[in-house]
Homo-oligomer: A and B are copies of this chain.
Amino acid sequence: MNIILLEEADFVTPRRVAIGGRRASHIKNVLKSQLKDSLRVGLLNGDLGSGMIVELAKDRVGLEVDFDRAPPEPLPLRLLLALPRPKVLRRVLAAAVTMGVKEIFIFNSWRVEKSYWQSPWLEARSLREVALLALEQAGDTVMPEIFLRPRFRPFVEDEVPQMALQGRAWLLHPAAETPLREVRGPEVSGPQSCSQRPVLVAVGPEGGFIPFEVEIFLAAGLKPVSLGPRILRVEQALPAIIGNFLR
């Protein structure tokens, strides 16, 4: 937890918050903070700042807060992720959100086990919790949007082509002939001009896409790209590709 994330409901006056539960216990037991200590805080979907501890009660911590700077810029990358098994889902969502991705579409694919769609981890509350922890880790405040698309064709045929028009769009595919260095592209130095156009990256399930799915993605405007001769797990491939767009 590199910042304490605050929500509107935490405010008792415009500059004073009172928090309990997990955050209060973190401040007392992990950070072992004392009265008058200053902590890094962020307002959910708002600015970053600092909070001075003005109250340390049994199950409540009071902070006087001051917001003075904007959160990090969103990463201009839209992620399309074939639903992985639940444990991996949590891990890759955490990685994507920590790295600054703000738009994530979780979609169905032939090699996704049907039962994964019943996972309690897909409930809005669970997704939100994973995202909150990742924002606290990153030192970011801006909640990502996470969309579920349990039907492959309507998603890839009707929604994806529009997204692919907005910038470069890549399909991670081991058999692709385009090497990763072309994705990095000629780096434009100076202001973030053309690289600010959002990139789209689609990542398949363990075992990969079936040929028919690859065809539909190509028809939607994506270009296949390879991460090299080795076969990576989703939880390795995802940070590896996103890492190419960090600045």
B243 touches A239 (CB 8 A): yes
Distance between A87 CB and nearest chain B CB, rounded to angstroms: 12
25 CB-based A-B contacts, threshold 8 Å:
A72-B228, A72-B229, A95-B236, A98-B231, A98-B232, A98-B236, A99-B228, A99-B232, A100-B230, A138-B232, A139-B230, A139-B231, A140-B230, A180-B246, A181-B187, A187-B187, A227-B243, A228-B247, A236-B239, A237-B239, A239-B240, A239-B243, A240-B240, A241-B243, A243-B243
With an 8 Å Cβ cutoff, the count of chain A residues facing the other chain is: 38
Question: Please, which residues of chain B bring their CB within 8 A of the CB of A140?
Answer: 230
Contact partner, A231, options B138, B187, B228, Cβ 8 Å: B138
Q: How far is the CB of A29 from chain B (nearest CB, A)?
A: 17
A122 CB-CB contact with B under 8 Å: no
What number of copies of this chain does the assembly contain?
Answer: 2
Which B residues are in CB contact (< 8 Å) with A184? 184, 187, 244
Complex CA gap A137/B206 in Å reads: 11
Which A residues have a C-beta under 8 Å from some C-beta of B? 2, 72-73, 94-95, 98-100, 137-140, 179-181, 184, 186-187, 189, 227-233, 235-244, 246-247
Contacts of A247 in B (CB 8 A): 179-181, 228
Interchain CA distance A180-B189 in the complex, whole Å: 12
The 5 A-B pairs at the shortest CB distance, nearest first, are namely A240-B243, A243-B243, A72-B229, A239-B239, A138-B230
